[in-house]
A and B are shown apart, each in its own frame.
Chain A
């Protein structure tokens, strides 16, 4: 792999950039792999990379139905933070954030991790209690998260309306300074390039049609649109479509897939310095390096695999955004889109073994998958290699729905009294 650097770019500039090679190769599938990862998004490609890099397992294929990063990796609003409440969540998201901090250097690929700060607005006493609980839990864990007064919040985001006359006035905010954004496509590409360089096969336009199992019940490979491919282990990380893939091995998951929508405005000069979220009024917003306001909307209420959703979801989000930032009312929406998120009953992810031998699953990331990418990928690789979860992902196993050991971040944050 040719190293990327400012010098390499300068050298290529002199000769019309003719010397760049393909970032990843697109080989024909082998007959059998040690590991097949289903799903060429950030989590799947990352897991392949860490399998090769940290576990020395390189006879690996990542199989993707469409194009790399074409699922939720390339459709999300790129928010990164780790200021979650429960130990299980802090374990995974903080592990992830630490990896984000060095990811560009590790991959030799600028994923543009930009720790510009993630600010969560508090609008009432209940919000304040909830944020306070988060801040203290984060502090004792070792995660940065601080309380800001309304004025401090406005100093950080000058366009914020902190007037008392707002319908839901802001009574403070929680700020994680290490939180921020990254360039979503670059994450998929960077992992693909680094994994490919270590011998991993990245196979696009290859749809999984079935999972084949041996007499002992263990997996033996996948039926695909490119024929049967053998595998000693199969790891599924196909956000949105995990239920569909796992049903091929008769595994039923506690998931429902719903469209999550987002939109961007036309590009404008920098006006919005960080990420702002408000759970109470249901909005989150940042500004991309191109200048677009990137706005996350809600999910539609019904199961759907359509990657589109209703206009009312978008308008409801914009109501909230413009209530917080009234000067954006004349700004225009340039593009709206949807992705399919698979959601668990406790809104925390599932990563672990399944009832089928040598079949592993990484799913249920809901709306939080992007920020978890490096951490999830890293721990998923451990699971695949060792056959049991890393201690930082030990809480995310599938059996918790049977035993009742739920990690209910949503319930902890959102119940109004």
Chain B
């Protein structure tokens, strides 16, 4: 039922447990534990995809994450769809829908296949040489065509309904890979008492033991030993075993990223489970036991469906019980492929021949082949294949150009030997070294506290691997302070030791040929493309990679890198290490964005900060604006009001009656200590020694370079205590700035800084009736005009709770800012509102605040200044002490360009037509008729309709602005030019009498 190619008695899956899935609309049966690849092969399906450039038919090449061809689209439902999934990695679950990719209209008949016929034209790098004429055609014609033809899978189009999780973990020893080496190392480390995390990308541990059935460990079948060892490790308290988990990135200071696939194999996952879990592990030591990956042979038409890695065929047979063909050829340069032939032969499959390009294969495998009656053609090569949608024959010839003969087959297994997986080692910034004897790049110089063991370290032989791994496990455990443990010993036996291996193009695909011998399957890079790149001067492996795209596909060159290097090496007649290896980059295999993001989405992407009065504001219809990560009440529209209407009403009401404004977002810092005054003198331009307790002052803070950094009103509560306010966005950086100077430049000062932004709720009550509103609520403070004049601060009580009450104004009206402990903010606000509302006052938002302060010419740092403005530019020279010998910015301010004539200065602008409101950001010129590029004098920083003035008002930074008062300048807009007159910055109550009302 689960496929005609399933061989009874083979494999480890349970025949009774089945699942159904569809592939391109057709239903297939699978066994529980099948991958999509094994299930399709069991059903005789080899054609599963199309290549990137030539759209050639492609099958399943591997049984692991190195798969370049069998990339599929997997969906559970419309929103849970995933492109570019590796068929040999994806486990089948009941009800899954699988679609092939990069083909139209169908996989078997793909129009894009015409590219294959045109391939002589599409040589590597051809696009650099053409599509240049006519000039506009690249963007309009050629590029869209190329983009459409490329690209493999189709992006999801809906938001992902699944969720993801994130964990941080610490351990003594992290072991990446749970084959023989990883399990041995983990066991030794764990028994020595170390806290161990063992990870493996497959559903079960075992690594190569999945296919290598000739291995015995301590007398037990290798795969069974692996499962038993994993079970033993899982039972230990100091060990975490994670399967379906890929160690994808090795970062600084032994920080390793893992991604655990939690539900993608389950038919009906529990909704509470995350789809994937990101583990961010800080390991004291890391053991890399990442194994090695078999290489393919490079020969003409080596890409037909049915041609695959020998070890993959062994996995499909020995683990999944699937025969990948009935008449199978083998083409190899390594002993390892022989064992695939042996296993298949014993399972009843016909082996057409083993074609070995070596004259002298290993004697043991040769003897076994003879014993099993398998024909071995040594010194021969496969030089071509046939078969439209699946391989049907191989052409075999004696090396050196003998006549070729066609041998019919329905599958071809190949092996060019094994490439150690040094990806994580290399990511850790270790330097690989080329071992010429074995033709492998192996770990050379280590950069972090890690060790490589087993075949990723170039260690051949089972017992050697075991002993190296046990020793590494023990060593790493000891290195992390675990001394008391038990020593582990293991004994392994395997049937054959493997020899051989080759890199580069094989017979019939040499320099004089134009055949398609694929090096990188997915990107359709052939041996001849590498040679072309070299011919064109691309001599660095990075240039070759970028010119041909070799190794740039989703498998990131796991199969192709070494072949590419070897071919370049041959053409350049230069040793492989002289050409270099491209840098391995994370991730080892692609990682879902969702897993990397984890919880950081929606409301948790950047948690919104809300003031204590937020709920009241919301209930009273406030529209909010984002300011930094705060939500601030912007304006309070009443029924039928536009924003403009609401703001005009609020502006009128505040000037005529009073208004309540939530100023809680302003930053607040408590500066305390015997040297607080000295410190304030250093941090702000103003002179603080003249400020008496109970009084306030507007302060300006500069950066050392002399530009305005922040501003705010500072209240002096006592000789040694200042209540400093900052801009909303500036609070954290001002605190940091102050701490920096206090700790590192002025550490002799006895001053303590405390951020109190979130401790105080701040209610501004502004307007002619402000005092009337507040008076009955305040206890212990005489708030009469005489006792409590403008720019004063007192401590007392309001509504029975403690308050710091400021007499200050950002509106130009008489006003107060009521600071109360945050928890009482809303209660006090409501109490004040209960008095204010009957008097005709309103609540107002940030927009009205902006208009009212602009009417008074009060600046907003960050809007009217931009980090290039000095206090003098902003007409704030009065706030810069001339007596002080030091404050931050004192020297920067004196630099030649900061004292030059003609700097941009803040001024007021009045449009000649009072009804025209300038656009904020609009540019100002003296001559609107000049050609472009125009000489721009500055820009409009703030601009509003002022209901109180009955006209528009604006602030602007204008070159030499102070000297231009009364001049007419122009603001050229796309549709008209607006004439403006330069004015001072105060538009309402120029004498400031209202402040004292």
Contacts and interface: CB of A to CB of B under 8 A. Distances in A.
Given A5-B129, A267-B150, A319 B600 contact: yes
Interface in B118-151: 120-121, 123, 126-133, 135, 138-139, 143-144, 146-148, 150-151
Contacts of A332: 84, 590-593
A417 B138 contact: no
A108 B82 CA distance: 41
Given A133-B921, A185-B546, A416 B729 contact: yes
A363 B132 CA distance: 31
A137 B600 CA distance: 37
B690 to A, nearest CB: 29
Contact of B921 (A14, A130, A308): A130
B139 A115 contact: yes
Contact of B936 (A137, A159, A183): A137
B386 interface: no
A124 B539 contact: no
B326 interface: no
Contact of B536 (A16, A21, A111, A319): A21
B139 A417 contact: no
Given A308-B429, A327-B156, A13 B120 contact: yes
A20 B528 CA distance: 13
A315 B279 CA distance: 13
B897 A129 contact: no
B593 A333 contact: yes
A417 B603 contact: no
Interface string A321-334: 11100111111111
A96 B251 CA distance: 37
Given A110-B127, A333-B593, A415-B729, A136 B939 contact: yes
Contacts of A323: 601-602, 605
B842 to A, nearest CB: 21
Contact of B128 (A102, A189, A321): A189
Interface of chain B, main secondary structure: loop
B483 interface: no
B921 A330 contact: no
B933 A142 contact: yes
Interface stretch (B170-178, B192-200, B621-629, B876-884): B621-629
Contacts of B257: 311
Contacts of B128: 4, 109-111, 183, 186, 189-190
Interface in A1-43: 4-6, 8-10, 12-14, 16-18, 20-26
Interface in B58-76: none
Contacts of A12: 123
Interface stretch (A212-220, A224-232, A401-409): A401-409
A132 B921 contact: yes
Contacts of A365: none
Given A114-B138, A269-B155, A314-B596, A6 B542 contact: no
Nearest to B249: A311
A357 interface: no
A24 B933 contact: no
B106 interface: no
B121 A10 contact: yes
Contacts of A403: 895-897
B535 interface: yes
A137 B923 contact: yes
Interface in B921-949: 921-923, 925, 932-934, 936, 939
B933 A268 contact: no
A239 B219 CA distance: 60
Nearest to A334: B590
Nearest to B850: A125
B360 interface: no
Contacts of B554: 266-267, 334
Interface centre among A5, A125, A167, A416 (most CB of B within 10 A): A416
A380 interface: no
A290 interface: yes
A329 B593 contact: yes
Interface string A295-332: 00000000000111011001100111111001111111
B921 A134 contact: yes
B97 to A, nearest CB: 15
A329 B627 contact: no
A130 B941 CA distance: 9
A22 B537 contact: yes
A369 B741 CA distance: 34
Interface string A230-267: 00000000000000000000000000000000000111
A265 B164 CA distance: 18
Interface string B581-593: 0010111001111
B83 A404 contact: no
A328 B590 CA distance: 14
Interface residues of A, number: 118
A167 B129 contact: no
A167 B429 CA distance: 38
B556 interface: yes
B542 A331 contact: no
Interface string B890-921: 00100111100000000000000000000111
Interface string A274-312: 000000010000010111000000000000001110110
Contacts, number: 347
B628 A330 contact: no
Given A20-B536, A24-B537, A268 B429 contact: no
A168 interface: yes
Contacts of A110: 127-132, 138
A110 B134 CA distance: 12
B514 interface: yes
A25 to B, nearest CB: 8
Contacts of B135: 102, 104-105
B109 to A, nearest CB: 19
B579 to A, nearest CB: 11
A10 B126 CA distance: 10
Contacts of B224: none
B127 A269 contact: no
B642 interface: no
Contact of A269 (B151, B919, B923): B151
B537 A23 contact: yes
Contact of A404 (B514, B606, B705, B921): B705
B958 interface: no
A290 B150 contact: yes
B237 interface: no
B147 A270 contact: yes
A56 interface: no
A403 B932 CA distance: 29
A337 to B, nearest CB: 5
A268 B592 contact: no
A136 B921 CA distance: 7
A173 interface: no
Interface stretch (B473-481, B756-764, B804-812, B859-867): B859-867
25 contacts: A4-B130, A5-B132, A17-B535, A87-B936, A104-B132, A110-B127, A110-B130, A112-B143, A133-B939, A183-B128, A271-B154, A291-B147, A291-B151, A311-B586, A318-B593, A329-B156, A330-B594, A332-B84, A333-B592, A402-B895, A411-B868, A415-B729, A415-B865, A415-B866, A416-B627
Interface of B: 52, 80-84, 120-121, 123, 126-133, 135, 138-139, 143-144, 146-148, 150-160, 162, 249, 251-252, 255, 257, 280, 427, 429, 514, 528, 532, 535-540, 542-543, 546-547, 549, 552-554, 556, 583, 585-587, 590-594, 596-598, 600-603, 605-606, 608, 625-628, 705-707, 727-730, 860-863, 865-868, 892, 895-898, 919-923, 925, 932-934, 936, 939, 972-974
Which 7 interchain pairs have the tightest Cβ spacing? A411-B867, A291-B151, A132-B921, A417-B862, A416-B729, A22-B537, A133-B921
Given A16-B514, A412-B868, A417-B863, 12 more contacts: A5-B132, A22-B536, A87-B936, A109-B129, A129-B863, A137-B939, A141-B933, A318-B597, A330-B162, A403-B895, A406-B868, A417-B862
